[in-house]
A and B are shown apart, each in its own frame.
Chain A
Amino acid sequence: MITSKRLRSIAINLLYAIVGAMMLLPIYYLIVTTFKTQTEATISPLGLPKHLTFDNYINAFNAMNYPRALLNNVLITGSAVIVLILISSMAAYVIARSKKKIYKWMFSIFMVGLIIPFQIAIIPLYKIISSMHLMNTLPGVILINVFCINLPLSIFLFRGFINTVPIELEEAAAIDGYGTFRTFWSIIFPLLKPIVSTVAILDALAVWNDFLTPLLFLQDPNKAVLLQEVYKNVGPFSTNWTAFFPMLVLATLPLVIFYLIMQKSIIDGVVAGAVKG
């Protein structure tokens, strides 16, 4: 009996190992190839590299203008996430707490954005962004990421969470002479920590990996983000894939590191986002 149970557990672990290895194979292939010459990569695509040389990475780093592109990514993602948390938590608070019809109505307008992709508005959006003189600027991309892509879900998540916060706290604050604005920031907002982290994680992933917006709205090569640098180089490097692969690694490295450190919060955030939805 014990041995059959043991056998079962070994079989299950073996299954895990095989499935896990198959999932990882493309990533393994990506990484080992970055250390190879083309001949070596053609002869043994999955073998370990014979030499550990970083020449491919150094060339990729230079071709991508890595520090500047990375900075652009950080600026866009950082600002978008901060703006999203500030404005969507306030909006959601009003929607959750006020009994006025107009706010329920505003909420249903926001929720249109959960189902309808902003891509259908993209041509007029181009015109609006141009007329605001935000074409080829980081604030233009930030605004689109905030309002067109991530705002509805953020408001939705904040509202769901605020509904679970007891209203007695606010009543007590009112007796102490706190104004509405001060009550929100000094009493309610600190209680929203779990949902702030969920929203921040989901929004950061979405903004960082967004390619369409910079592709269309950020055509100045000096303001390119990491994905645009990859895209720019895919043509010139098309026959030289061992030199191109390090760019794929460099473009995703920041998020992979973020994932490895924050793994549990990220997965919890994804789950929380779905359960509230």
Chain B
Amino acid sequence: MNAKKRDRVFLFMILPAFIGFVLLFILPTIMSFAYSVTNWSVYKPNYKFIGLDNYVQLFTDTKNIAAIKHSVTYALVITLVQNSLAICFAVLLTRKSIMANMVKSIFFLPAVLSVLVVGFLFQYIMTSADYGLLNSIIRFFGGSPVNWLGNEKIALYSVLSTQVWQWTGWSMVIYIANLKSIDSSLYEAAEIDGASKSQSFRHISLPLLYPAASFNILMSLIGGLKVFDAVFAMTKGGPGYASETIMTTLIREGFNSGRTAYASAFAVVFFVIVFVISKIITFLLNKWEEKIS
């Protein structure tokens, strides 16, 4: 009797979250799949089933392939750079001192700013106009100015570097917490055995950083795949289509051009990419976990 009542209360407690989530997340996700095989657009409100035409069209457009490549490259590079830097700075800043604490706070500060604001700020810093700060500094040291956002070979990486500046501190504080949790007797034992600092880092710290690394890697990877705000603020996908990503393409096709079904097909492709990449990464991370335990 009592258990039955408890079950009813339980259902009542979980339903607000579950109904909202199904209605606003699961349902539209499934709808994306359904729309992707129709010819629905703002101009064709009476849509019909057209099979895989949207997908065929999507993969024959080289701009889309480029956008997918940009997002994947961006995600992989930012994951690698951000995590390596974060680990270096974490090692540097784990020691207890007022100075280290202050620098830690400074490193984290950019993470509370909005990506859009950081993007706009760096758009001015990296501009090739006379007042561009970065080029002024380069000229001051005798270098020749670089067209950071206007050169199609480097525009995407210029955007990426601003995001490294913004988010390294976030990953770093997680690595620092992980480093502090490592039993210091391990280092003492290594020192007695005559291990050098770099040896004990390689053989003690690095493997035991697994928990922080697995979280940070997955987060920066997924965050990187859905990059939108930073590109939107800094290059709008340009020059040409050189820094166009999955999300900027999806928003442009779906909202600005009104090709809703076509954009839905792109969303499905996005789903598959995120799913496959995160599966691969979790597989690799599990392998790593097995190896250290």
Contacts and interface: CB of A to CB of B under 8 A. Distances in A.
Interface of A: 12-13, 15-17, 19-20, 23-24, 26-27, 29-30, 38, 41-42, 45-46, 87-88, 90-91, 93-95, 97-98, 100, 103, 106, 109-110, 112-113, 115-128, 143-144, 146-148, 151-152, 155, 174, 179-181, 184, 205, 208-209, 211-212, 216, 227, 230-231, 234, 241, 244-245, 248, 251-252, 255-256, 258-259, 263, 266-267, 270-271, 274-275, 277
Interface in B84-119: 89, 92-93, 95, 97, 99-100, 102-110, 112-117
B58 to A, nearest CB: 14
B106 A259 contact: no
B241 to A, nearest CB: 19
B181 to A, nearest CB: 9
Given A115-B275, A248-B120, A16 B99 contact: yes
Contact residues of A: prevailing secondary structure: helix
Interface residues of B, number: 88
Contact of A211 (B22, B116, B125): B116
Contact of A151 (B17, B165, B225): B17
B114 A227 contact: yes
Given A180-B9, A180-B10, A274 B216 contact: yes
Contact of A117 (B93, B115, B274): B274
Contacts of A98: 7, 10
Contact of A87 (B17, B165, B216, B225): B17
B12 to A, nearest CB: 8
B153 to A, nearest CB: 23
Contacts of A95: 14
Nearest to A258: B112
B190 interface: no
B13 interface: yes
Contacts of B14: 90-91, 94-95, 103, 106
Shortest beta-carbon contacts, A-B, top 9 = A124-B31, A121-B28, A124-B28, A91-B17, A209-B114, A90-B13, A120-B267, A180-B9, A147-B24
A126 B215 CA distance: 31
Contacts of B27: 124, 128
Interface stretch (B48-56, B193-201, B247-255, B284-292): B247-255
Given A98-B10, A100-B7, A181-B13, A113 B21 contact: yes
A26 B103 contact: no
B160 interface: no
A259 B112 contact: yes
Given A119-B270, A211-B229, A251 B10 contact: no
10 contacts: A19-B89, A42-B130, A91-B16, A94-B10, A95-B14, A117-B274, A127-B28, A147-B24, A216-B255, A258-B112
A124 to B, nearest CB: 4
A13 B228 contact: no
Contacts, number: 246
A87 B20 contact: yes
A184 B13 contact: yes
Contacts of A117: 222, 225-226, 270, 274
Contact of A155 (B17, B23, B104, B133): B17
A252 B10 contact: no
B116 A231 contact: yes
B283 interface: no
A116 B17 contact: no
Contact of A20 (B106, B124, B174, B263): B106
Contacts of A103: 10, 14
A81 to B, nearest CB: 15
Contacts of B264: 123-124
Contacts of A155: 17
A267 B173 contact: yes
A87 to B, nearest CB: 4
Contacts of A252: 112-114, 117
